[in-house]
Structures are given as structure tokens and as C-alpha cells.
């Protein structure tokens, strides 16, 4: 499977919207309009790094992945142009301010003297905060927007084996909030939510983290496997080709946008830990010890999908995950999550107790919720995600150990110019 | 309220069990036995810092607070000395290895070829990981242990207004796992849980974070207030007096131990954000803007509890939080939590969907779960926690905005010497 590069297409300018400024110069950062350095200068305090909100593309996509993320889904209070416009205005102003380290603009809540939490911020520098906003398929059910619908924005199908929880699915708006600090993420979520009353209602949130070895090694996932993917490199033609929407394939307003596919994938860690190591390796097709493909000697060796053992069996089994998933061109930007067994909302009672028992180890095992907040950015979700996911759903040894419990797809508008709101082009000329 | 310092008592040696070693020297760190530097040397990579597990006191108490924490409660599979001893052996060996950056020792799981996740670790340095183990009141219902029960280990009372969820309360064993990296915490929790089958069952977990401004300023809590507390300073006589158990007040084996009181406190952020700022300030008794006590000019000014405004009213209201809570001598080591609206386990259905609605903004508002994982270490929980909490529960303007939903108390044994297990003294001479 590949995303075709049209003949004669001119490689576009390398573009990475990460730039480094000092905290003191924070308020001027927006003016840099998204052109700058891909990596921080040595010796700069990472917490003070700023990723400009305004630019050709939205931030949080080509941005070097931050350590913490929350995905927030919300539904429009009313599916009409005016509500959507007001919501996008609020989200834009709030995100632009927070990402440069400023408090969000005041909003009249209608309650005398009300002053939102964000007035005084967190006392923390913005830690590369990005806010990335996408619009779900239902938004384009608004009559005036039907003709402007991004061409590939279709609700995801139900795949074999999906165990979706409707509480963790869909949404008219999906916002990815990332930073190198969890309180910055929490505060941004809170500030964005504070703009929603009357315009949108919160649907679900999911929180994850990503810890990268300081030596630059590949992070391990919740199954202990190195989960480093051959992501395209920002600023290269391959990246542009895989990620960014273009016209005339897409409506003019959507050029420079992309699609975000979100899947909450629960990983059955207890079952995994009771599976012998050599079987684990066959499930993935790589050795857990060093990440090498089976039959190869090092992590970055190519996987030989045709190699057979002396007994004639395929070294990398026919249903191994890396065989079934191979060749999927996408920008992956997922986060590990581990909620432990924080649940229990449905078991409230009137009186507390310090000691009486609810302990049932097996029940609690099944209440563990940990895994992957899969997140990918692609130019064509049908070709780049759905086709591969159908193959995986049909046959993948890993399916015994995972389940997809949440799902969403949104069209991510291009970046905004300073003074404009996100998706300005979508709403241009409408009431 | 004060914790009396006995006349003629000799101040004990300053003791802080944090020591800095390079990652390369990690495996030797355990031998340092807990005596070392309180603060990291300049220029050392914080992720590689190691806090020794072995020492006079358990680590994770006097240790400078880390950025991430999980509290894990479990119940003994069988309440007898042999089970407790085996569990403590497993927890000790696992914690000692993980905290120095090593994989935990192998354990025969009884399943051929089974190899736990921790064999290959995370690829991350230990990031000041600490594992602090406490024993709940029910443990001392084991007949042989009754005479050795720490004197102040009594189940917490139900306070006025408590809204405890039994799923988040109690536990025979409570383990505090802290590190400067969320994956290190997640992996340690997983590794500790992997030692429990047959010995203990998981009861609940709670995860929190703490972000400290890089300039050393006071962190803000989920209500946007500076929540810096006058914690005692490790290594001072005041600290020792507030935190560490001593004989003959306590059984000999428990000298050098302490008590941990855990409360999950939900903060009603939506209600708070709709409260006028000046009323918020009166609720707390401090200005949210700069943290100064009402009537004072700067954050660290003393609060004048007797000052009255020209109209004769108390400047700091009679039911303001800081007035009601004043004078509580304890070591606070709490963490902020923000679970968003991750719930929904009880709403599963057979077939997934990308778009059909469940959105009810008001319901979702009430499903938000964010607040404080209150955690304090004290030498006498009745005097240092319960008495003050009774006062707060009886009258505190803050009670309209918070609810206590989880609760636990444990006795935290002193530290272990290398080669011994935690609570060795408790089990000495028993079958």
C-alpha cells in the first residue's frame, strides 16, 4: 500500500512549525508564523520552549512529540454555522494565548464577577504546548458545509473484533492537547472546556504519556516491546506526501490540513505477562529483548518476511503483527496510557468505610485499563489507515491481546494566520 | 495542636535518603545505604538520579517530591504471617532492584517459559524512583501481630461530609510509587503487581502528578491557588519530630517508621470556576492572584487571623480554609490528579459506533474527576490528621467545593538494611 506521489509534483518547502524562544519573548512568538527550528538549541530549558500556534499547518503534527497528551472530544451544542464559528473563535484565541504562555482572553460568562481559573495560569512555562483541533463527520451535516466536506472524511467502519465503548467514540470536535508537562496539559484542557458552555458539550477525554530514553533509544510500549516506528521525517517530501491534504484532490480551504485517526487500544497486560517469551516474540515478529525482527540480528535490520526455518516454517509467522501491519505509510503520534484501576464510579454508596472488603483479584484484573492511545495523521484515511486496519482485524496474532475500545476520525483544518480563526476558509462567506 | 517534643530528647542525626549516582554506577547505589545528598549536583541529568531503597527510613518520604506518583492498594490473599512475609520479601527485592535501575529478580510464575515484562525494563533510567510500603490496620488482625501493632494505627473515622467510594478506600497494603517519569511509575506498578499472584490482590490505584515552577515558585492546585505548604525541612529536628515514630512510644520494631494518611479529594472545578473571584479568595483566605493571605501583601506574609475590616467583619472569614486548617504539623506529599472523564466502564455495549450521541454536557460535567491525592506522613495520625480533619469537616467554606472520595491509613515500617526485607522486625521470631 502506498500513497501515490504524482508525477512531476514539485517537492514543497520543508516545513516544521517548531521554534524556540525564551519565556521572556513568549508573547512575540506568535508573530514568527511557524517557521523555525525543528530541534531545540542545546542548553535551552525545554520547559520554556514555545511551539507557535499560528502557521501554515496546525501545530502538534510535525511537532516533535511531547511527553504528555490529552485527547478531548466535544459535541456542538447546536449543529449550525454560527455555533461552529463562535466555538472555533474561542478555541483559536484560547489556544493561541496558552501556547505562547499567556492567560487566555477574558470571556463574559454571564455570572457577575466570575473569573476563570486561567487568569493566573499555572505559574509554569508552556513546555511546548500545542492544541490541534479537528472536525468530525457530523459537522459536515450542517447544510451549508456539505459541499465543503473534506473528501476523505467518512466515519470509520466497525472492524472485526472492535469492542468499542460509545463513551470513548466520536465527537463533532476532537482536540489533541500536548505538552512536556502534565499540569500544562490539564490546565489547557480546563481552559478550553471553559470556553465551551453554550457552544459545545464535553464528550470524552483520554490522557497518555510518552517517555523516550535519554540516549535516543526506541521507547517500549506496555507489552515491553520497542515500539519505534519508521515515521516520516518532518520537512521531507515523504512527510508532506503522507500527511498534508492538497487541492484539487481536496477542497481549496482544506489544503494544508490532514486527517487524525484516533483509536483507544486496550492492551491485555495480565494475559501478555502470562504468555511465554518466545510466543510473545512470534506474536509481534520481533524479539522483545532487543527489538530485532525474528531471524535478524539488530533492531534496525530489515524484516525478512520470506525466511523459513529448517523445518520449513516461516521465521516471522504468517499472522505476526509486523507482517500484517507492514507498509502502512502514516505519521504515528500515539501515547501510552495507564489508568490502573481508577474506575468504580458506578459503585458509589452513601457511607464510607476504611476497611470493608471489595477485593476480588480477578475482577480487578479485568478492570485494569492500560494500553495505547493510537493516533495517526494521514492524507487519505481510507488508504492509509482503514485498509491496513481491515487486514489487521482479519488476521493478526496480536488480536488475542488487544482490543479497540475507542475510535474517532476528524478532518484537521490547516493552520490559521494570526488574526484569523481556525477553519476560516471553511466558513468564509457563510452567515 | 502540636506534636510534643520530649524534654531532654537529643536531636537525631539529620537524615535524608537521597543520593546521586551516575546511571553507570547504578547497581552499586544500594550499598550506599541511604546516606547522601539532599539535592542533586548541578548539571546532572535528573532522569539518571537514584534514590537508594535501603536505609534507616523508607525512601519516598524525606525524598524531594517527584513529579509522578501512583498509590496502589492491595489485600493479602490470606491474612497470615507466612503470606505477609512472602509478600514483603517479593516487594522488597523488586523495589530494591527497580529503584537502582535493575530489572527485578526472576520469579517462577508456575507457567513454563513465562517471563515478566520487567526482564528488559523500559530502557529508561530510574528517574528517582521510590517505592514506599505501608501496612493497613487489618494486617494487625493477624493474631501473632496483635501485640506488635503500631500504637496509632486505627482506621480513620468517617468525617462529616465524607463521600467515600469503597473502591478507593482501605487496603491491607498501600504502596506509594513515585518517580520523575510516568512510564517508570507505570512499569514499577506493573512489576510489583506481577509479584502478587497468590499473595495479594490489587484493590485500587490512583495516579497523580506534581509540576513545580522552574523558578522554584509555589505550585498551583486545581483551584488555581498557590498550594505551597510550610512543610518541615528534611534533616531538621522539627522534621524528625513530626514524621518519625520512636520507641518507647511505639513498639521497638516500628521506631524510624511513620504513618501515611491518604485521601482522594475531588475538587469541583466546574462549580469553582463559576464562583466570583473575591468569594474564591474568601473561601481559601488567600488571594488567588499572588497567594497572599487576605489583608497581607505577599505570599509568605503571616496570616493575621484577628484583623477586621472597617465594617467589623473578620478579614479572613471565620470559616476560611486557612483559618480552619492552621497549625496542622505534618509532612504533606500530595499530588494533583486529573482523570478528565475517562469513566464509562459501566456503559459497555456489544457494537461500536463512531458517531451516535451520548452527549449530555451536564452529566459529563459531573463525571469530571480531578483534584488532590492528599498524602501526609505523620508520627501521630490522631493528633496530626484526625483532629484537624474533624475541625475542617465540621466547618470549612471549602467544603462546598470538595469531597473526600477515597481514604486509607497505613503504618509505614522503617527502612530495610540490605539483605533484609521490609518489616523484618515486625515478623522476627514468628513462624
Least-confidence region, from A105-109, B223-227, B334-338 = A105-109
Which phi and psi (to 5°) does residue A235 adopt? 95, -5
Q: Is B144 helix (H, G, I), strand (E, B) or coil?
A: helix
Is B210's pLDDT higher than 60?
Answer: yes
Residue A108's pLDDT is 57
Question: What mean pLDDT, rounded, does chain B reach?
Answer: 83
Query: For B199, which residue in chain A has the nearest alpha carbon?
Result: A361
Is B282's pLDDT higher than 90?
Answer: yes
Is B416's pLDDT higher than 90?
Answer: yes
Separation CA B73–CA B56 (nearest Å): 24
Query: pTM of the entire structure?
Result: 0.85
The C-alpha cell that represents A311 in the structure block = 523445518
Distance from CA of A96 to the nearest CA of B (A): 20
Separation CA B32–CA B321 (nearest Å): 43
The CA dihedral of A26, A32, A35, A40, to the nearest 10 degrees, is -20
pLDDT tens track for B23-42: 222 222 222 222 222 333 34
Kindly list the distances between the CA atom of residue A20 and the CA atoms of A101, B4, B32, in Å, as whole numbers in the listed order: 13, 53, 41
Q: Which chain B residues in 39-98 lie under 8 Å from chain A, judged by CB atoms?
A: 45, 47-48, 68, 70, 72, 75, 77
Sequence-distant (6+) residues with CB within 8 A of A110 are none
Confidence of residue B327 (pLDDT cuts 50, 70, 90): low
| Interchain CB contact of A141 with B (< 8 Å) | no
Residue A231's pLDDT is 87
Q: Using an 8 Å Cβ cutoff, are B337 and B371 in contact?
A: yes
Q: Is B75 helix (H, G, I), strand (E, B) or coil?
A: strand
Query: What residues of A are in contact with residue B363 (Cβ under 8 Å)?
Result: none
Distance from CA of B56 to the nearest CA of A (A): 29
Task: Identify which has the larger pLDDT, A308 or A17.
Answer: A308
pLDDT tens track for B298-321: 998 999 999 999 999 999 999 999
Sequence-distant (6+) residues with CB within 8 A of A42 are none
Residue B354's pLDDT is 29
Task: Identify which has the larger pLDDT, A4 or A45.
Answer: A45
For B112, the closest of A117, A204, A276 (CB atoms) is A276
ipTM of this complex prediction, to 2 decimal places: 0.84
Q: Which residues share a beta bridge with A314?
A: A308
Residue identified by cell 497505613 is B410
pLDDT over 70 percentage in chain B: 80
Mean pLDDT computed over A415-425: 97
Q: Using an 8 Å Cβ cutoff, are A421 and A54 in contact?
A: no
- Indicate which of A182, A218, A266 best probes the interface with B, i.e. most B CBs within 10 Å of its own CB: A182
For B353, the closest of A166, A218, A404 (CB atoms) is A166
| Interchain CB contact of B387 with A (< 8 Å) | no
Distance from CA of A221 to the nearest CA of B (A): 8
Residue B106's pLDDT is 74
Is B348's pLDDT higher than 60?
Answer: no
Query: What residues of A are in contact with residue B121 (Cβ under 8 Å)?
Result: 220
For B182, the closest of A168, A211, A365 (CB atoms) is A211
Residue B54's pLDDT is 98
- Indicate which of A117, A159, A289 best probes the interface with B, i.e. most B CBs within 10 Å of its own CB: A117
Sequence-distant (6+) residues with CB within 8 A of A224 are A288, B117, B118, B119, B120
Number of Cβ within a 10 Å radius of residue A86:
16
Is B115's pLDDT higher than 90?
Answer: no
Confidence of residue A105 (pLDDT cuts 50, 70, 90): confident
Q: Do B203 and A358 touch (CB under 8 A)?
A: yes
pLDDT tens track for A138-185: 999 999 999 999 999 999 999 999 999 998 999 999 999 999 999 999
The C-alpha cell that represents B89 in the structure block = 520479601
For A201, the closest of B68, B346, B364 (CB atoms) is B364
Residue A303's pLDDT is 92
Least-confidence region, from A229-238, B362-371, B422-431 = B362-371
| Interchain CB contact of A155 with B (< 8 Å) | yes
Q: Which residues share a beta bridge with B133?
A: B175
Is B95's pLDDT higher than 60?
Answer: yes
> SS3 helix, strand, coil % of chain B, rounded to 5?
30, 20, 55
- Burial B85-98, CB ≥16 within 10 A → b, else e: bbbbbbbbbbbbbb
Nearest to residue B340, comparing CAs of B409, B388, B269, B247?
Answer: B269
Residue B341's pLDDT is 84
Sequence-distant (6+) residues with CB within 8 A of A308 are A314, A315
Q: What is the DSSP string of A270-315?
A: HHHHTSBHHHHHHHHTB-TTT-PBTTSSSTTSPP-TT-B-TTS-BS
- Interface A-B: count of C-beta contacts within 8 A: 309
Taking only Cα atoms into account, the Rg of chain A, rounded to an integer number of angstroms, comes to 22
- Indicate which of A222, A354, A368, A382 best probes the interface with B, i.e. most B CBs within 10 Å of its own CB: A354
Mean pLDDT computed over B277-302: 92
Q: Identify which of B170-184, B351-365, B385-399 has the greatest average pLDDT.
A: B170-184
| Interchain CB contact of A38 with B (< 8 Å) | no
Q: Using an 8 Å Cβ cutoff, are B331 and B239 in contact?
A: yes
Distance from CA of A237 to the nearest CA of B (A): 32
| Interchain CB contact of B275 with A (< 8 Å) | yes
| Interchain CB contact of B409 with A (< 8 Å) | yes
| Interchain CB contact of A213 with B (< 8 Å) | yes
Sequence-distant (6+) residues with CB within 8 A of A201 are A74, A75, A77, B359, B360, B361, B364
Pairing status of strand B68-76 against strand B200-209: antiparallel
Residue A259's pLDDT is 98
Q: Using an 8 Å Cβ cutoff, are A129 and A47 in contact?
A: no
Residue A122's pLDDT is 83
pLDDT over 90 percentage in chain B: 67
Q: Identify which of A57-71, A330-344, B204-218, B291-305 has the greatest average pLDDT.
A: A57-71
pLDDT tens track for A355-391: 333 334 334 555 789 999 999 999 999 999 999 999 9
Separation CA A158–CA B36 (nearest Å): 57
Distance from CA of A77 to the nearest CA of B (A): 9
Amino acid at each position: 500500500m502506498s500513497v501515490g506521489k504524482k508525477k512531476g509534483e514539485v517537492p514543497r518547502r520543508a516545513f516544521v512549525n517548531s521554534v524556540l524562544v525564551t519565556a521572556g519573548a513568549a508573547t512575540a512568538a506568535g508573530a514568527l508564523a511557524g517557521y523555525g527550528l525543528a530541534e531545540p538549541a542545546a542548553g535551552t530549558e525545554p520547559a520554556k520552549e514555545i511551539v507557535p500556534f499560528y502557521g501554515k499547518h496546525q501545530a502538534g503534527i510535525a511537532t516533535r512529540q511531547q511527553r504528555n497528551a490529552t485527547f478531548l472530544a466535544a459535541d456542538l451544542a447546536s449543529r449550525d454555522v454560527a455555533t461552529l464559528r463562535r466555538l472555533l473563535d474561542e478555541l483559536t484565541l484560547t489556544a493561541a494565548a496558552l501556547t505562547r504562555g499567556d492567560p487566555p482572553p477574558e470571556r463574559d460568562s454571564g455570572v457577575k464577577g466570575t473569573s476563570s481559573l486561567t487568569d493566573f495560569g499555572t505559574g509554569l512555562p508552556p513546555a511546548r504546548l500545542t492544541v490541534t483541533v479537528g472536525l468530525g463527520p457530523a459537522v459536515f451535516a450542517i447544510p451549508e458545509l456539505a459541499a465543503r466536506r473534506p473528501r476523505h472524511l467518512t466515519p470509520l467502519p466497525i472492524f472485526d473484533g472492535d469492542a468499542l465503548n460509545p463513551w470513548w467514540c466520536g465527537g463533532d470536535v476532537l482536540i489533541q492537547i500536548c505538552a512536556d508537562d502534565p499540569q500544562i496539559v490539564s490546565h489547557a484542557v480546563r481552559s478550553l472546556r471553559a470556553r465551551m458552555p453554550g457552544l459545545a458539550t464535553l464528550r470524552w477525554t483520554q490522557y497518555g504519556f510518552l517517555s523516550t530514553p535519554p540516549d535516543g533509544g526506541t521507547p517500549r510500549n506496555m507489552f515491553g516491546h520497542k515500539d519505534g516506528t519508521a515515521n516520516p521525517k518532518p520537512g521531507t517530501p515523504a512527510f508532506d506526501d503522507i500527511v498534508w491534504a492538497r487541492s484539487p484532490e481536496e477542497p481549496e480551504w482544506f489544503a494544508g490540513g490532514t486527517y487524525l485517526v484516533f483509536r483507544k487500544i486496550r492492551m491485555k497486560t495480565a494475559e501478555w505477562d502470562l504468555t511465554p517469551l518466545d510466543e510473545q516474540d512470534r506474536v509481534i515478529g520481533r524479539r522483545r529483548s532487543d527489538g530485532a525482527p525474528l531471524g535478524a540480528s539488530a533492531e534496525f535490520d530489515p524484516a525478512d518476511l520470506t525466511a523459513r526455518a529448517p523445518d520449513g516454517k516461516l521465521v516471522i509467522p504468517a499472522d505476526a503483527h509486523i507482517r500484517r501491519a507492514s507498509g502502512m505509510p502514516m505519521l504515528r503520534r500515539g501515547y501510552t496510557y495507564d489508568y490502573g484501576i481508577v474506575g468504580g464510579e458506578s459503585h458509589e454508596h452513601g457511607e464510607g468505610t476504611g476497611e470493608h472488603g471489595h477485593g476480588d483479584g480477578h475482577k480487578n484484573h479485568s478492570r485494569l485499563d492500560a494500553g495505547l492511545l493510537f493516533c495517526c495523521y494521514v492524507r487519505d484515511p481510507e488508504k492509509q489507515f482503514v485498509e491496513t486496519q481491515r487486514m489487521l482485524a482479519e488476521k493478526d496474532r496480536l488480536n488475542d491481546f488487544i482490543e479497540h475500545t475507542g475510535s474517532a476520525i476528524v478532518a484537521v483544518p490547516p493552520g490559521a494566520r494570526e488574526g484569523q480563526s481556525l477553519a476560516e476558509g471553511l466558513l468564509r462567506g457563510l452567515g
